[in-house]
Amino acid sequence: MIRLENLRKRYGKVEALRGVSLHVGEGELFSYLGPNGSGKTTTIKILTGLAVASSGDAWLHGFHIGKEGVQAKRQCGLVTQNINLDNELSVGENLHLHGKLFQMARKDRVRRIDELLEYIEMTDRVGSPVKSLSGGMKRRVMIARALMHSPRILFLDEPTAGLDPAIRRRIWSLVKSIQKSGTTIFLTTHYIEEAEFLADRVAFLEKGEIVALDTPQNLMEAIGAWALDEVADGGMQTFYFRDREEANKHITTHAGGFSLRRVNLEDVFISLTGKKVI
């Protein structure tokens, strides 16, 4: 459904993407992870037509982004990091405007808005000004707006940024239900547990290059099942073990203060790059 071949993007002397290649299958929820400046948002901008690649090729549902831009854009919806709804318009007016941009007939817009507001549990807010909504409600409206024209692919760029944990989990439930409807989802996030919970596969990006790509479980199993954090001399060192017994043996045979926990995806990224996903 999404295909990238040797995608590169340069901004002056800075090479934001350095030959990224990947395939995302139909109905897959694919998470794209990396620290700030790694190239995540640049990739989404190219795939959604907001930026032009310096070289390489990309396709959305078989349409080449450079040669068949209009058809490619019709395949996707985008939820950006920043809330970009029109605060002076109502929820319904924001959705109608998006439908008009995609040349949807009024009766189709009305039907689709009714469906989507029920889907995001906001039917009673159709006439509410966007400026009166909470941050979590605005995020749900942005997702509804991206789905107005029934895209095959949904790009989610930091969709839960700044939301409290309870609201984030409500968005997670919505995202999983969207995937179950058959929509392919391409997700970037700084919340490592979000990718771990939602994604079928994960790619780690570092300095514009993919350094690992697999299922979350396979990536974690590659370094171990248990992590042992040791804090000493103002720093922290982490050791990885295949089983808990092995980790406990290390604790009993070494002096120091240890904290034992399960391995997570952030451990994988740190082991690959030495950096945190921030």
- What is the Cα–Cα distance from 80 to 57, expressed in whole angstroms? 23
pTM for this structure?
Answer: 0.92
Three-state secondary-structure class, residue 197:
helix
Q: What distance in Å separates the CA atoms of residue 63 and residue 145, rounded to the nearest whole number? A: 23
pLDDT tens for 14-52 read 999 999 999 999 999 999 998 888 999 999 999 999 999
- Whether 195 has a pLDDT exceeding 60, the answer reads yes
Superfamily of domain 2-216: P-loop containing nucleotide triphosphate hydrolases (3.40.50.300)
Instruction: Give the HSE-up count for residue 169: Cα atoms under 13 Å, Cβ half-sphere.
Output: 2
| Residues facing 220 on adjacent strands | none
Q: How far apart are alpha carbons 188 and 195 in whole angstroms?
A: 8
94: CB partners within 8 A, 6+ apart: 85, 86, 130, 141, 145
Beta bridge partners of 235: 232
Q: What element of type H or E holds 109?
A: helix 106-119
Burial class (CB in 10 A: 0-12, 13-18, 19+), 255: exposed
The candidate with the shortest Cα–Cα distance to 110, out of 128, 92, 87, is 92
What per-residue confidence (pLDDT) applies to 276?
61
Q: What tokens were used for 55?
A: 């070289």
pLDDT digits over 126-155, tens only? 999 999 999 999 999 999 999 999 999 999
Residue 245 identity (one-letter amino acid): E
Q: Which long-range contacts (CB under 8 A, 24 or more apart) does 238-246 make?
A: 238/267, 238/270, 240/267, 240/271
CA distances from 225 to 34, 192, 262, 271 (A): 22, 17, 6, 14
**Distance between CA atoms of 215 and 202, rounded to whole angstroms?**
6
pLDDT digits (tens, 9 = 90+) for 197-251: 999 999 999 999 999 999 999 999 999 999 999 987 777 889 999 999 999 999 9
Q: Is 107 helix (H, G, I), strand (E, B) or coil?
A: helix
Domain boundaries, the chain: 2-216, 224-262
Q: Is the pLDDT of residue 277 over 60?
A: no
Return the residue matching tokens 């395939």: 23
Residues whose CB falls within 8 Å of the CB of residue 231, separated by 6 or more in sequence, listed in order: 257, 259
Task: State both tokens at 199.
Answer: 């994604």
